[in-house]
Amino acid sequence: MRFTVLASGSGGNVCSIESADFGLLIDAGLGPRQIAARLQEVGRSWSSVQVVLLTHTHTDHWKDATLQHLHRHRIPLWCHSGHHTVLRTYSDGFLALEAAGLVRSFAPFEAFPLSPGLRCRALPIRHDSGATFGFRLEGGADLFGGCNAIGYVADLGCWDDELADRLADVDLLAVEFNHDVALERNSKRGPRLIQRVLGDEGHLSNVQAVDLVRAVLCRSTKGRLRHLVQLHLSRECNRPALARAAAREMFDELRVAVAIHTAKQDEPGAPIHLNGSARPRVAARSPRRRGSRALPTQPSLPGLID
């Protein structure tokens, strides 16, 4: 399996996962040409994408032009039924996907196959977007009965023991490290926005994210987790060095070797290859059309402000 962050942050979110000859995107928060350019930077193209998974309907996670692209190229969209109302209201692309039978629905906690060698489980998380999900993705079993696993949770204001249980024993864990609490509280943002971000349905702080990762490690086989990907850093209220330092301090305390990868908004990260024999390492950085139907403009929902 191979995991790549193409974009992460309030300006748009897209991640790529490949397993054997099957490829998927988690979220589609950039336009189709931007996604094509990011895929090209990591040696891939739209032809390598067979499915898109949607976490929630804040508009930094989907673009109507991209949903129209999925329809034109017959790429299915997996989402929750709770997403349908918003998408039907604001997206010609989603209506076209529905009419073509290209919308697939998942249910919380139920495993569903994306391909013969890749299965997924949707994990409900708390965020002020309505139905919001993280995912656990597992590849096919190897000769010894093991399989690569990826945990992905972004855009959540809090976590609980059940979520930590569901994320145990993954090889790669992608978690939101949105803000530093002091930077958030001392920012020039209005009190309402600050309270939203800090609330249980807002975004995880560096401290909250570290606590979640620690809880996952305590539930996991020692040495299983090899990669931590830090997602959705606030440009205004966080710093990559702060997020990395918070994670590194915890890993040093627990005496575990986990590579830390901090995602960026404006350029893709280096692809992370999951291989049972690979030692943890820090990856090096590699160098609307509207339809005839009158729809409301795609709104700037709260997710566009980190």
Residue pLDDT, tens place only, 155-194: 999 999 999 999 999 999 999 999 999 999 999 999 999 9
Task: State the pLDDT at residue 141.
Answer: 67
Other beta carbons within 10 Å of 118: 24
Q: Tell me the backbone φ, ψ of residue 149, rounded to 5 degrees.
A: -140, 145
CATH of 156-265, one of 3.40.50.300, 3.60.15.10, 1.20.120.420, 3.40.190.10: 3.60.15.10
Q: Tell me the backbone φ, ψ of residue 220, rounded to 5 degrees.
A: -110, 155
Q: Where are the domains of the chain?
A: 156-265
Q: How confident is the model at residue 295 (pLDDT cuts 50, 70, 90)?
A: low
Q: Is 11 helix (H, G, I), strand (E, B) or coil?
A: coil
CA 166, CA 121: separation in Å to the nearest integer? Answer: 9
- Among left, alpha and beta (phi > 0; psi -120 to 50; other), residue 30 is beta
Overall average pLDDT of the 119-128 stretch: 97
Residue pLDDT, tens place only, 200-249: 999 999 999 999 999 999 999 999 999 999 999 999 999 999 999 999 99
Cβ atoms of 304 and 63 closer than 8 Å:
no
What percent of the chain has pLDDT above 70?
Answer: 88
> Which residues, in sequence order, are CB contacts of 120 under 8 Å at separation 6+?
53, 78, 106, 111, 112, 113, 114, 135, 136, 137, 138
Overall average pLDDT of the 39-60 stretch: 97
Enter the pTM of the model: 0.90
Residue 287 has pLDDT above 60, yes or no: no
